[in-house]
Each structure stands twice: as C-alpha cells, then as structure tokens.
C-alpha cells in the first residue's frame, strides 16, 4: 500500500495512468473505422460504406474488431511514452519558459516531432501485427484457422527475424515525427483559441477538449496520409516492395496518384472520434487524479 500511495502521489504516475486511460478510450472508440481504413488502403478500391457492407456480410461484426487486443494491451505503455516524452522534450527545448507557464508553440512543435520519432520504435512492430490481423479474411471454412497476435508475431520473427518485426520502421518515423508536431501544436493552439487562458489554468470545457482533440487528429492525419498508405502496403506484404520509394512508384504506376489518398475520409472521421476521446479522457483523468490529491490540475504543465 505504501508503494502504491507513493507511486500515485507522483506527477509521472498520474501522467502514466491518464495517458493509458486516454489511449484505451481512443482505441475502443475508433477501432472499427481503423479496420475499414486498412482494408481500403490495401484493396483495389471501394468506398468505406461498400467495404463495410462487404465485411459485415461475409465476416460479421466481430471482424471490425479483429486485432484490437494488440494495441489495447500496449496502449498504456505507448501513451505513457508519448505524453511523458512530449512533456519532457517541450520543456527541454523551451527552457526559457517559466515553470508555471506552458511551453511555447515552438517547444510544442519540436517536442511533438521528437515524441513521434521515439514512439515509432514501440509503435512500428505493434502496427505490423495489427495490420496483418486486420487483413485476415474470415470465411466459414477458414474461421478456425485465423491467427492471433502472438501467432503472427512468432511467425514473422521466425521467418524474418527482428528485422522483420521492424519492417516499415523508416516510413513510420517519417509519418509520425512531423505528424506529432502538427498534432500537439494543433491541440494546444485550438484549445487556447476556443478557451483563452486554458493552457495555463487548465480549465477548458469538455466541448473544447473534444473539438481541440478531434481537430488535432484530423490535421495530423491529413499532413501524413500518403506516407500512411505506403506504410500499410509495406507492412502488409513484406516481399512485394523493396522499400519506400519502390512502394510509392509501383503503387502510383499501377493504381494512379489517387491511391495515396485512398481511405482518407475514413481516416479523418476516425481521427476526430479517436483523438477527441483521447484528449477528453486524458484531461479528465488528470483532473481527477490531481484533485484527489489536493493538487492543481496544472501540475502536469
């Protein structure tokens, strides 16, 4: 009991728990749309509604949640890395800011870029397994042969080694580093615009959290979406493409430039839902955790 009391009394522990709570809310809220996005990016075409109807008719509702265990199991650790790294880097980069003041927007952007790059080391193998799970086709004859996340991870590791588990790491870094810079800047700018002074006093409304989080997710996905399509294709088929440039050239040659934006509508809709849920759950959890200990919510800044 003493250990847990001391652990929960630290700002780091509160950030860790709040990050996990926010991440879990985001995964659960947006996973069906994420499955549709992956199917659209890898398939030859079709709208989100057409893909959804086909999946529901042939595989059932449960197929939209296939592979959710891997990101859900890792989301606490992943979001702890993201929010802790961002909080640390934004402060280190913007060391001129007073401790009681929020970091500057320059610190926010640079901290976000560093966070995205570091997080990719954890996220890349998780997304590799998730994508392979999401692309499994379930039929009555194959239902008993569908693999789980651990079986797929073992298969990749045995056939391709550690390098295979990190297939797509380079394009994941290229996608996530700038996207996280845009992500955190958009969130901080939007919440301050909608609720002036909230970056310092932490008293924004739930509506502000939802809108700021949702718009941050949308803007970050729009800026990196073509790279996400390339990443999906590289991780889905390990032997078809030799690298990022080869995947880009062959995809555009075979399917046209529109392939780089395939599924973006689904991704944008999912981004708004997921990131609105993430930041609302994260900020709410922080308020509860800090207030329960008699601390001001801004202790996280």
C-alpha 35/C-alpha 14 separation (Å) is 31
Q: Bin 197: left if φ > 0, else alpha if -120 < ψ < 50, else beta.
A: left
| C-beta neighbour count of 143 within 10 angstroms | 10
pLDDT in tens, the chain (301 residues): 454 455 445 666 777 778 778 888 888 888 898 888 888 887 666 788 888 888 888 888 888 888 888 778 777 677 777 877 888 898 888 777 777 788 899 999 999 999 999 999 988 998 999 888 888 764 444 444 567 888 889 999 999 899 999 999 999 999 999 999 999 999 999 999 999 998 888 788 888 988 999 999 999 999 999 999 999 999 988 788 989 999 999 999 999 999 999 989 989 999 999 888 888 888 888 778 766 555 544 433 3
C-alpha 226/C-alpha 228 separation (Å) is 5
CB 84 within 8 A of CB 122: no
Query: Which class for 284: exposed (0-12), middle (13-18), buried (19 or more C-beta within 10 A)?
Result: middle
Q: What SS3 class is residue 168?
A: coil
Mutual angle of helices 11-42 and 206-236, in 10-degree steps: 50
C-alpha 299/C-alpha 281 separation (Å) is 17
CB 108 within 8 A of CB 188: yes
In this structure, what token pair is assigned to residue 261?
């934006």
Question: Which pLDDT tens digit goes with each residue over 152-176?
Answer: 899 999 998 999 999 999 999 999 9
| C-beta neighbour count of 69 within 10 angstroms | 15
Query: Which class for 164: exposed (0-12), middle (13-18), buried (19 or more C-beta within 10 A)?
Result: middle
Cα dihedral across residues 47, 63, 68, 238: positive or negative: negative
Question: Which residues, 6+ apart, have CB-to-CB distance to 194 below 8 Å?
Answer: 204, 207, 208, 211, 212
b (16+ CB within 10 A) / e for 220-245 = bbebbbbbbbbbbbbbbeeeebeebe
C-alpha 177/C-alpha 117 separation (Å) is 5
C-alpha 152/C-alpha 139 separation (Å) is 19
Question: Which pLDDT tens digit goes with each residue over 192-205?
Answer: 999 999 888 878 88
Distances (CA, A) of 84 to 5, 130, 221: 20, 24, 22
Q: How confident is the model at residue 157, as a pLDDT?
A: 92
Q: How confident is the model at residue 4, as a pLDDT?
A: 46
């Amino acid at each position: 009991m003493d250990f847990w009391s001391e652990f929960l009394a630290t700002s780091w522990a509160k950030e860790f728990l709040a990050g996990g709570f926010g991440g879990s809310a985001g995964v659960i809220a947006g996973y069906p749309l994420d499955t549709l996005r992956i199917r659209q990016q890898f398939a030859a075409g079709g709208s989100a509604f057409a893909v959804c109807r086909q999946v529901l008719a042939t595989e059932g509702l449960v197929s939209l949640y296939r592979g959710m265990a891997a990101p859900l199991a890792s989301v606490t650790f992943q979001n702890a890395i993201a929010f802790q790294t961002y909080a640390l880097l934004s402060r280190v980069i913007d060391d001129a800011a007073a401790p009681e003041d929020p970091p500057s927007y320059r610190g926010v952007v640079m901290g976000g870029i560093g966070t995205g790059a570091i997080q990719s080391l954890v996220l890349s193998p998780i997304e590799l397994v998730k994508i392979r799970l999401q692309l499994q086709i379930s039929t009555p004859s194959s239902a008993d042969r569908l693999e789980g996340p651990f079986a797929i991870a073992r298969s990749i590791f045995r056939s391709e080694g550690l390098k295979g588990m990190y297939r797509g790491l380079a394009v994941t870094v290229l996608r996530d580093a700038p996207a996280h810079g845009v992500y955190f800047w958009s969130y901080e700018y939007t919440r301050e615009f909608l609720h002036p002074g909230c970056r310092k006093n932490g008293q924004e409304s739930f509506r502000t959290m939802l809108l700021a989080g949702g718009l941050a997710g949308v803007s970050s996905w729009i800026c990196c979406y073509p790279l996400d399509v390339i990443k999906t294709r590289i991780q889905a088929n390990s032997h078809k493409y030799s690298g990022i440039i080869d995947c880009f050239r062959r995809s555009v040659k075979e399917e046209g430039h529109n392939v780089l934006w395939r599924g973006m509508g689904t991704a944008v809709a999912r981004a708004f839902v997921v990131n609105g849920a993430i930041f609302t759950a994260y900020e709410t959890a922080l308020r509860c955790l800090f207030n329960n200990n008699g601390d001001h919510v801004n202790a996280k800044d």
